Amino acid sequence: MLEALSKLGYVKNIFPFDEEQVQELEVISCHVKNLALEERKNIFSLYPELRILIDKKLQELDLHYRSTNYCFYIEKNFSKNWPLALHQDLNFPDYLEQDHNQKLQEKGLWFRINLDKSDHQNGALKVVPQSHKTCSKDNPIFLDNERGEVILFKPLLFHGSNKMICNQRRRVFQVLCKPLFQNPHK
């Protein structure tokens, strides 16, 4: 899995949560969806048990990563709808625990939990494969996903999403993760 992540910049078709856990995530989404933007960018401060669950799933997936303090919630629907231009994540919130932006850009990964099935019509994640290595914005693809699916991707991978063109919703928790340890020989 980490080899594909390193090569392409993303991995999908990961289903670490059972139905009960997905439903718990949906309950949390109901509680946070109307919070101010800055509060939705710091979900772990409100729900520390969510961080414990994410770290457990990272361990079960044998990824050798753990969550940072940065977990945010996004909900798109027909009335709250916007395009997000292709971009790289170059800056992170000040409250992150002693992590340096450059290390997180290069070595970090996003753990994106999709609470709804998504495709190009309702704002699925759009990426440019291998762009974390090439910096090219050419040939983006949509990463259609199923409910409960996790997509991993590198912060420097060009990513974004289109405006929704159907009356559905797309709910996502996205967690920035860092390696458990650094190999000094890499």
Whole-number Cα distances in Å, 185 to 103, 176, 177, 181, 182: 15, 24, 21, 12, 9
Query: What is the pTM for the complete model shown?
Result: 0.93
pLDDT of 97: 59
Torsion of CA 97, 99, 101, 104, to 10 degrees: -110
Domains and CATH numbers, the chain: 2-91+100-179 (2.60.120.620)
Separation of alpha carbons 179 and 156, rounded Å: 15
In angstroms and rounded to an integer, the radius of gyration of the C-alpha atoms of the chain is 16
Token pair belonging to 60: 């079960």
C-alpha angle 39-45-82 in degrees, rounded to nearest 5:
30
Given a contact cutoff of 8 angstroms between Cβ atoms, the answer to whether 6 and 183 are in contact is no
End-to-end CA distance of the chain: 18
pLDDT for the residue 95: 73
DSSP 8-state class, residue 182: -
What is the structure's pLDDT at 131? 97
Query: If the chain, 186 residues long, is cut into consecutive pieces of 10 residues, what is the mean pLDDT of each piece?
Result: 94 97 97 90 94 97 94 90 90 71 88 96 94 95 97 97 89 95 52
Maximum Cα–Cα distance for the chain, whole Å? 50
